[in-house]
Chain A
Amino acid sequence: MESSKEETLKENENEIPSLYADRCSDVALHQALAQSDAQKSFDKLKTLAGSWEGRFEGKPLQVSLRVTSMGNALMHEMKGDGPEDPITMFNVDGERLLLTHYCDAGNRPRMVGKVSPDGKTVEFEFLDVSGSTQYGHMQHVVFNFIDSDHTEKWEFAMAAGKTEGGLLDLRRTK
């Protein structure tokens, strides 16, 4: 009987990790299934964390992306040869992925982003803007994942109703 008990215990011991693993798998599966599109889009963007370099109209440009706030925010910073240095913060807000662009034009447009079905693009559409729009505001952004590099297309709505766009072709340096 004793040996039978031991065998049962041993069997149970063997089962515990397996049951635990199964439970973990279930939880992971459930979490994966339950993960919102916004969170998926955010996680996709967070893979861009690092330092990037590119050129825009012949001039060098640096972009840094940092995951901050215990993983709850992604901070995007652009640096060229001037004092512009705009910062864009990304975060999940309920069921949507939000960006807030702290623009050197002095306003703060917000946009809502979605990852494309193929996972290669995250596109942000204009939501609203706080601050003066006297000189226009940023209104649309597309992040395009190309192998280990990525591009960013920023579109600015001019005060006169026209739009201007700029494409950044960025290579990872760190």
Chain B
Amino acid sequence: MKSLRLMLPVVLMSLSSMTLAQSDAHKSSVAPAPSEAQKSFETMKNLAGEWEGPVSVPEVPEMSGGKPMHATMRVTSRGHVLVHEFQEAGTPLDATKYDHPVTMLYLDGEQLTLVHYCDAGNRPRMTGKMSPDGKTVEFELKDISGSTEHHMHHGVFTIIDANHHTEDWTFMMKDKPIHAHFDLHRTN
């Protein structure tokens, strides 16, 4: 239970000590510029909050125009992780009845990474990059653990403004791509 007490005196104080030590050693120096991955991650973390909006799936029209989806994004683990959860809006959490995929986003070295705990039962891992204009973060598949027959393959977050973003997820049904477009507005 390092995180909640043991880790406080140990890790956090170590971190503080390290930070202070570094700060002392480089008092006159400027903090290093954040890497591209860090910038991308910070952009993603700005999306923390509650979001809701419709989904459209061109390849499966019956999946479009239904109940809106609710997305929750939370910064956790002392800022090291952004958790993304999807659920049909206005429904109780019931893992046996509703889809409820969870995606964990974090920095792995110099790569912005996500692991998608898919309701298909596998866990695709993707690496993301932000566009030069800072408005889009695009994730490409790196690898998958679990079955690869059906899997999430690609994700794009497009930031319209502070209260509006879209998500485009591509799911592979064997060799057939299924595109889901989520148009999400901030509710909190």
Q: Which residues of A contact B (CB under 8 A)?
A: 56-57, 59, 61, 66-73, 75, 77-78, 80, 82-87, 89, 91, 93-94, 100, 102-106, 108, 130-131, 135-136, 138, 152, 154, 156, 158-159, 164-168
Q: Are B77 and A85 in contact (CB under 8 A)?
A: yes
Q: Are A130 and B117 in contact (CB under 8 A)?
A: no
Interface residue total, chain B, C-beta cutoff 8 A: 40
Cβ contact of A70, chosen from B95, B108, B123, cutoff 8 A: B95
Given A69-B117, A84-B78, A93-B146: A102 and B104 interface contact (C-beta under 8 Å): yes
CA distance A85 to B96 in the complex (A): 26
Residues of B within 8 A of A70 (CB): 95-96, 99-100, 119-121
Residues of B within 8 A of A94 (CB): 146
Residues of B within 8 A of A93 (CB): 123, 145-146
Which stretch of B6-14, B25-33, B134-142, B154-162 is in the interface? Answer: B6-14
Which stretch of B56-64, B80-88, B168-176, B177-185 is in the interface? Answer: B80-88
Q: Are A89 and B11 in contact (CB under 8 A)?
A: no
Q: Are B83 and A131 in contact (CB under 8 A)?
A: no
Q: Which are the 6 A-B pairs with shortest beta-carbon distances?
A: A166-B1, A70-B119, A104-B78, A156-B2, A67-B95, A84-B3
Which residues of chain B in 76-133 are interfacial with respect to chain A, using CB atoms and an 8 Å cutoff?
76-81, 83, 85, 93, 95-96, 99-102, 104, 106, 108-109, 115, 117-121, 123
Residues of A within 8 A of B2 (CB): 103, 105, 136, 138, 154, 156, 164, 166
Q: Which residues of B contact A (CB under 8 A)?
A: 1-8, 10-11, 14-15, 76-81, 83, 85, 93, 95-96, 99-102, 104, 106, 108-109, 115, 117-121, 123, 145-146
Min C-beta distance of B75 to chain A, whole Å: 9
Who on chain A is nearest to B99 by CB? A70
Given A67-B95, A69-B102: A82 and B80 interface contact (C-beta under 8 Å): no
